Amino acid sequence: MSEIDWDAIRAKLPTDKNPGDKARRKQMFNEFDNGNGILSLAEVDKAIRDVLCIDELFDAKPAIMRAFQHAKSVSNKGDAKDDYIEFIEFRQFLLALRQYFEYYVAFQRVDSSGDKRIELVEFQAAIGKLETWVGTIDNPEEEFKSIDTNGGGFILFDEFCNWAIAKNLDLEDDDD
């Protein structure tokens, strides 16, 4: 994955609670929406490419999916709208999108083979990077096993995200 312009991404995602960002979110939601007042995953995916124009983010399908799932679960609607994002959930979607994209970038930096899973040898080879992002890892093999919750012998993106959240993973190049 090439250099990420984190400032440009932050600028395109209006997540603050101030009136200006709220107005930008409303406009953005309307640009994403097909007119029915709710956003499907397909609408969100298309809008990331066509409205936000962030190619790196558009290519990060697992991050988009996780952010979408997170946002639609924020308010437990209990109706047909459970499969969609409403405006009230849109800010949470944008926040989660930014965070899961960071985890996606970290995951790709560790997944040196590019096969969308992290093997123990890749994890061990990236231990220096990982410790920069999460702090000391005393026993890399045991840490790997604890992340690999399904026991498959490799770490999938969802497993990595759960670990990254618990460890408060923070890339060194995404902040000022």
At 2 the pLDDT is: 62
At 176 the pLDDT is: 43
At 21 the pLDDT is: 95
At 126 the pLDDT is: 97
Give residue-wise pLDDT tens across range 159-169.
Answer: 999 999 999 99
Shared fold status for 6-108 and 113-167: yes
CB 60 within 8 Å of CB 104: yes
At 23 the pLDDT is: 97
What are the domain boundaries of the chain? Answer: 6-108, 113-167
Strand partners, 39: 85
| Regions in the chain scoring below 70 on pLDDT | 1-2, 76-81, 175-176
CB 83 within 8 Å of CB 72: yes
At 52 the pLDDT is: 86
At 77 the pLDDT is: 59
CATH code of 6-108, in short, is 1.10.238.10
At 76 the pLDDT is: 65
CATH architecture of 113-167: Orthogonal Bundle (1.10)
At 163 the pLDDT is: 97
CB 101 within 8 Å of CB 55: no
Question: Buried b / exposed e across 30-68, counting CB within 10 Å, b at 16+?
Answer: eebbeeeebbbeebbbebbeeebebebbbebebbbbbbb
